[in-house]
A and B are shown apart, each in its own frame.
Chain A
Amino acid sequence: MIGIVDYGMGNLLSVFNAFEYLGLSVKICSKPEDLSQVDRIVLPGVGAISQCILKLNESGFTEALNEQVLQLAKPTLGICLGMQVMAKQSFEGGTHTCLGWFDADVVRLNPGNSTLKVPNIGWNTIQFDKQIPLFKGLPENSDFYLVHSYQVQVRHEAERVATYQHGETVTAAIMKDNIFATQFHPEKSQDLGLTVLENFINWKP
């Protein structure tokens, strides 16, 4: 069973519907102890990082996630803000300490060209590491939907498994051990997005 962390931030229903559409049994985990009943974890999220961290900490999810993801090594997928929160710290509206699963900072997009907008909203062609099982079956130049103003900058380049161009190279996905996370929204990227979610279901890290 796949568990979606419900900590009061964002596009839970879309993620739920996408996995259900793929024929999976999905559990919405609204209490930290629910996580022990699932074997894969999805951490979604849309919104502001300060709220996100506050809610994870207040609800007790931070501790439970550290145990389930880091110690029990359950395959885990972060999406958008759910990816950013896996960094060490975020500079969105101040400095916020995050989960620290990746040695990474979250910094504002800086396209350095006034015709390129922030937030970047829309479909972008993603360059990805073809060796990664999570990108199996994707054609070259696959487009995915993104909507964000901040990006994850990893210190270990090997952890960055997908990028795209927006006046600068932007991190589109990161991976480490049993954790995979995307800045793009697979649940909003039509068929190619569903392919990534299906790959996650079958992923054996």
Chain B
Amino acid sequence: MSKKRLIPKLQLATSRNNPNKLVVVITKQFGDKIEIGDPVSQSKIFQDQSADELIFLNIESNTNNIKTLSEVIAKVSEEIFMPMTVGGGVASDDDFRLLLSHGADKISINTKAVESPEFITEMSNKYGAQCVVVSIDYKKEADGSFQVYTQGGTLATGIDPIQWAIQAEALGAGELLLTCIDHDGMRNGLELQVPSSLVQQVNIPVICGGGCGLAKHFSDAFLLANVEAVCAGSFFAHRDQNLIQTRSQIFNAGVEIRMQN
């Protein structure tokens, strides 16, 4: 059985100082970008701290950036020997091929998957289900229901995240990445209602993210929602406390995670 995974999420956006460079940023509820560093050096730190995997998301969702994104991934993969999921604006077979050939292991798709669900099946058939991560951003609405948003959290779709995730699995997704927009960057804990219900209804791994501020928030997601992985951006960017300490705390809470290396 795979151990539970801790995944630093590196959100990338164009640097304010250099339009040709992608930098790591953190956000709050998908707004308010704060630049925090260079993706290559950040990745090295995460590798030294034994992160289980990395997620890179280009949050500008501008398909012109796929090439720049692939160049960043190529640089990272010269020095990082761990799995990398890459996404943000991926909309074609060419995008898949470009990112995979530059060192990505898994590709995350979001808006394109909602617009053309058959894209999931095509990519899954071509590259294998394990390669296709369907990323789902959602919000809790005033009436208590949940709704999927696309285009970087700006477009309401009227779709229920759990129904969509189940459909994505049937179409060939190999993994699901859930992000609750309301909790993004707030560091007050993860939204667990959707993931805990979803985990019982699908057979593929579920990663959830958005809102980690304490080690307890990770262990809650593992122990209460039983997700396979938790990803976090702001948590690892802000804290003095590093991944190694966080790991011990999560391990001590009774979660089976990797403790060696």
Contacts and interface: CB of A to CB of B under 8 A. Distances in A.
Interface of A: 10-14, 17-18, 20-21, 46-48, 51, 81, 114-125, 139, 141-143, 145-149, 165-167, 185, 187-194
Nearest to A45: B128
A187 B127 contact: no
B205 interface: yes
A121 B47 contact: no
Interface in B39-73: 47, 50, 52-53
Interface stretch (B8-16, B95-103, B159-167, B178-186): B95-103
Contact of A119 (B77, B79, B101, B204): B204
A176 B131 CA distance: 29
A81 B125 CA distance: 14
Contacts of B205: 117, 119, 121-122
A115 B203 CA distance: 8
Interface residues of B, number: 40
Contact of A14 (B77, B127, B129, B258): B77
Interface string B99-112: 01111011000000
Question: From DSSP, what is the main secondary structure of chain B's interface residues?
Answer: loop
Contact of B175 (A17, A81, A121, A193): A121
Interface of B: 1-5, 47, 50, 52-53, 74, 77-79, 81-83, 100-103, 105-106, 125-131, 174-175, 203-205, 226, 228-229, 258, 260-261
A149 to B, nearest CB: 6
Q: Which 7 A-B pairs have the closest CB atoms?
A: A122-B2, A119-B130, A47-B128, A147-B130, A13-B103, A123-B258, A123-B3
A55 B78 CA distance: 27
Contacts of B82: 145, 188-190
Given A14-B81, A17-B77, A142-B260, A147 B105 contact: yes
A48 B204 contact: no
B127 A48 contact: yes
A117 B203 contact: yes
Contacts of B130: 46, 119, 121, 147-149
A166 B1 CA distance: 4
Nearest to A20: B78
A48 to B, nearest CB: 5
A46 to B, nearest CB: 6
A189 B102 CA distance: 18
A97 to B, nearest CB: 19
